[in-house]
Amino acid sequence: MKKRKPVDVTINLLPRDPFYASTFGRVMRWGLTTGRYLIILTEIIVIGSFATRFTLDRQITDLNASILQKEKRIQAYGTLETDVRVAQKRTTDYSEYKTQANIVEIFPEITAITPDQVTFNTLTINDATVVINGVANSQTIFTTFINNLQLSPKLNNIQVGNVSSPEEGDVGYAFELTAQLTVTKENNNE
């Protein structure tokens, strides 16, 4: 007998739908397979977005806490700055008061050592100097006034800047002198 050739039989349990053979069917099939991949990719992006959102929310919370902490620190420095400004103003006020106290102390001293025949046109008392413009009736009175200034413990470095002798009709010697105020231990301790 003759051997028979085995016949290949193909059994297709899922028959092809004639719809997929049409152009519209092929486009639909391509859309469905590619669409699956697009949906999976979109889901991965969404899951990544959620994970990123939690990270970003944590960073925002940390930044807000840091900003609040720095605001409190700046406010603390603001009060410190205000305190420093108040202290500086008090120091300035005290220095001005001390200068005025020095002027108050020197004025009676100058009044006490000035002879009656000496008149002041101007008397300027600053922080460290006294400038006097005036007229002395005689040379002896002027010399006595200069000696009194030199003997005063509150004045030193007396410099006579200008002395003019009397002309006809003028009475006395016009003078201009400058003296330095002596800083005493009592003034330094204040």
pLDDT tens sequence across 35-89: 889 999 999 999 999 989 999 999 999 999 999 999 988 888 878 888 888 999 9
Cβ neighbours for 149, distance < 8 A, ≥ 6 positions apart = 113, 155, 158, 177, 179
**Helix axes 139-151 and 23-113, enclosed angle (nearest 10):** 120
Are 155 and 149 spatial neighbours (Cβ–Cβ below 8 Å)?
yes
At 100 the pLDDT is: 65
Distance of CA 111 to the CA centre of its chain: 47
Task: Write down how long the chain is.
Answer: 190
Q: How many CA atoms lie within 13 A of 152 on its CB side?
A: 27
Cα 58 to Cα 65: distance, rounded to the nearest angstrom = 11
**CA dihedral of residues 8, 12, 13, 17 (deg, nearest 10):** -170
Cα 145 to Cα 175: distance, rounded to the nearest angstrom = 11
At 147 the pLDDT is: 92
- CATH number given to 114-189: 3.30.70.2830
At 59 the pLDDT is: 94
Are 123 and 130 spatial neighbours (Cβ–Cβ below 8 Å)?
yes
> Domains of the chain: which residue ranges?
19-112, 114-189
At 105 the pLDDT is: 77
Residue 136 carries which DSSP code? E
Strands 173-181 and 155-164 come out as antiparallel
pTM above 0.95, yes or no: no
How does 41-71 read in b/e, with b if 16+ C-beta sit within 10 Å? eeeeeeeeeeeeeeeeeeeeeeeeeeeeeee
